[in-house]
């Protein structure tokens, strides 16, 4: 009778090779996504802007639907009102800007002369180098054609992107409820559906409130800036007020650009150092009041964010998509915070994005 041989002991399994930590893979994935979004700017930017505006404009469309107006007609009415407001606002900039562009050569000469006057009025003027105005004018003249080509190309790209964004926004407003319903039905678990639905509601509420409050604040800042510049005697105060309101949508970068432009406008318009500096200083005072007192009071605790992450968001999105990316950086950060509050692995990131004063209280 043959018996079965006893099984030989199996050697212990070798330990698994040391793998790459999980956070490294996530970091590499995030870097790849950033560069992919930068390369896909032509398609990704209109889609992102349309989604953000859908969050803001969907409640008015639903309100019109409750009054018996179908979504196809309500979305058209809301879009026409938005485009009319933007065109009305843009008309305050286009006409003065076109007139300024026609006077660019004479403005350049006035600016060079004003630099000489400012250098003579400042103490320690011997240490301030005088720019070679003739060389500068020659350089600007030689690069004028290249600048014109760039402006024409950017205008064409902006027109196409704006048209694509408007069309996509209309279709998303019409089918917004259908898209949300299909998304929820595709999720298998009831808890996940509730989390997604509450996250969408919170993001829509926060982004809509943020953009509405920011628009009102910027309109007030623009009006105050225009009145202050009118009192100071700066030409075209309406244009400068509208420009200050528009640029103030870009956090940190917009006020810096406005200050520099007003400094150049003051230098080219006035003859004394105090008058040259007055427009920029007046805007800095108004901007400080808005940023430190009115803005935080009107925004409220719910919309407070970590200034470090706000600045990083503006930098990253501005690098990827230019000025348009910088404009939508903060609304995207609000949407990311809503997602972080509902995904367990991202809750730490959500704490960093929130206001540090909330964590310490």
HSE, side-chain direction, 13 A CA sphere, residue 150: 5
Ranking 114-123, 153-162, 302-311 by mean pLDDT, the lowest is 114-123
pLDDT tens per residue, range 7-25: 555 555 555 555 555 667 7
11 vs 131: CA distance, rounded Å: 82
pLDDT at 126: 45
Q: Is 347 helix (H, G, I), strand (E, B) or coil?
A: helix
At residue 253, does pLDDT exceed 70?
yes
Residue-range domain boundaries for the chain: 42-123+132-186
**Range among 89-98, 130-139, 146-155 with highest mean pLDDT value:** 89-98
Question: What are the Cα distances from residue 345, in Å, to 26, 349, 350, 358?
Answer: 12, 8, 10, 20
192 vs 197: CA distance, rounded Å: 9
DSSP per-residue string spanning 184-197: HHT---HHHHHHHH
Among candidate residues 239, 283, 292, 216, the one with its CA nearest the CA of residue 97: 239
φ/ψ (deg, to 5) at 305: -130, 160
Residue 157 pLDDT level (bands cut at 50, 70, 90): confident
pLDDT at 121: 60
pLDDT at 11: 58
Q: What is the mean pLDDT of residues 64-81?
A: 93
Ranking 45-54, 67-76, 193-202 by mean pLDDT, the lowest is 193-202
pLDDT tens per residue, range 198-245: 888 888 888 988 988 999 999 999 999 999 999 999 988 988 999 999
pLDDT tens per residue, range 34-64: 889 888 888 899 999 999 999 889 999 999 9
Residue 259 pLDDT level (bands cut at 50, 70, 90): very high
Residues 6+ apart with CB under 8 A from 347: 340, 341
């Amino acid at each position: 009778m043959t018996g079965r041989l006893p099984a030989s002991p199996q050697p212990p399994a070798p330990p698994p090779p040391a793998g790459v930590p999980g956070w490294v893979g996530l970091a590499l994935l995030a870097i790849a996504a950033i560069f992919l979004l930068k390369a896909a700017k032509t398609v990704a930017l209109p889609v992102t802007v349309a989604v953000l505006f859908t969050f803001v404009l969907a409640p008015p469309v639903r309100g019109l639907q409750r009054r018996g107006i179908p979504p196809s007609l309500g979305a058209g009415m809301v879009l026409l009102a938005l485009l009319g407001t933007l065109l009305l606002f843009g008309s305050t900039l286009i006409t003065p800007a076109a007139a300024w562009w026609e006077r660019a050569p004479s403005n350049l000469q006035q600016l060079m002369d004003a630099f000489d006057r400012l250098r003579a009025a400042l103490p320690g003027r011997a240490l301030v180098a005088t720019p070679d105005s003739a060389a500068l004018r020659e350089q600007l003249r030689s690069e004028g054609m290249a600048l014109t080509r760039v402006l024409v190309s950017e205008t064409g790209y902006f027109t196409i992107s704006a048209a694509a964004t408007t069309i996509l926004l209309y279709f998303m407003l019409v089918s917004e409820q259908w898209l949300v319903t299909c998304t929820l039905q595709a999720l298998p678990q009831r808890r996940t559906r509730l989390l997604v639905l509450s996250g969408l509601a919170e993001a829509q509420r926060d982004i809509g409130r943020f953009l509405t409050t920011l628009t009102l604040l910027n309109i007030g800042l623009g009006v105050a800036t225009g009145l202050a510049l009118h009192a100071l005697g700066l030409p075209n105060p309406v244009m400068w007020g509208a420009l200050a309101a528009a640029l103030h949508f870009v956090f940190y970068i917009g006020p810096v650009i406005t200050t520099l432009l007003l400094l150049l406008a003051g230098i080219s318009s006035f003859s004394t150092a105090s008058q040259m500096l007055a427009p920029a200083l007046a805007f800095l005072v108004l901007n400080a009041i808005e940023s430190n007192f009115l803005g935080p009071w009107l925004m409220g605790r719910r919309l407070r964010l970590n200034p470090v992450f706000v600045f990083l968001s503006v930098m990253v999105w501005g690098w990827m998509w230019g000025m348009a990316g910088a404009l939508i950086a903060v609304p995207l950060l609000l949407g990311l915070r809503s997602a972080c509050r509902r995904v367990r692995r991202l809750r730490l990131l959500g704490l960093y994005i929130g206001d540090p004063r909330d964590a310490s209280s």
